[in-house]
Homo-oligomer: A and B are copies of this chain.
Amino acid sequence: MSIRVVVVDDQALVRGGFAMVLGHQDDIEVVAEAGNGLEAIEAARTHRPDVILMDIRMPEMDGLEATARIVDEANWPVRVLIVTTFDPDEYVYKALRAGASGFVLKDIPPEDLVAAVRTMADGGALLSPSITRRLIGRFAERLAVDTAVSHRLERLTDREREVLASIARGSSNAEISDELFIGAATVKSHVSNVLTKLGLRDRAQAVVFAYESGLVEAGDHDIGH
């Protein structure tokens, strides 16, 4: 069972180059090529490939939009590898958001591209080193901020941190009282202490602090209904 690939790029030359490199591999078969997003969707429907090499800048419909639609409607495990000349952050995030599983630059060595396709077919994900670096950078940055600010968190007692966590969920004093099984007056004491120790004015600022300090993280809990 070879890996079935569709190559999407508006430049026939580039498309041909990729197809040739991949086609020469025993375990890879280029089943179709497409010159824009619409053709890509059509090709995906018809051939149900394992992997799609997708350019971003194309006429008619760009690769991001096409990726989103293909991933959305596909009922088989298709994986999209974005292959582009440009690498601005926005493209990467949009691509990942659209459902792409990989993102590499066109200057990638042929053997690496082949390896990338195999990785994708195996269910893995892959980013260009420079892009991976930025992703890591983002994470490391956030974590660094976390550690820096968490010093102030240490000044709080365990109970006060619990109260702060409740505040950060949007709880009122009465709700915190229920959540922690303590009296309303006690909650007020704790809240006052938290605000004083952290140099904050009100619970809204406490929520900001909780998020910025990493005590809670966006996505930790649901909002609304």
Contact = CB atoms under 8 A, between A and B. Distances in A.
Interface string A8-50: 0000000000000000000000000000000000000000000
A218 B219 contact: no
B198 A224 contact: yes
B170 A205 contact: yes
B213 A152 contact: no
Contact of A218 (B133, B140, B167, B217): B217
Nearest to A223: B212
A144 B214 contact: no
Interface in A115-158: 115, 119, 122-127, 129-130, 132-133, 135-137, 139-145, 147, 149, 152
A17 to B, nearest CB: 22
A3 interface: no
A136 B96 contact: yes
A179 interface: no
Contacts of A203: 204
Given A96-B139, A147-B97, A224-B209, A201 B218 contact: no
B127 A93 contact: no
A217 B172 CA distance: 23
A208 B129 contact: no
Given A101-B133, A125-B129, A170-B200, 12 more contacts: A96-B143, A97-B140, A97-B144, A126-B129, A127-B132, A135-B139, A141-B219, A167-B204, A168-B208, A204-B207, A211-B211, A214-B218
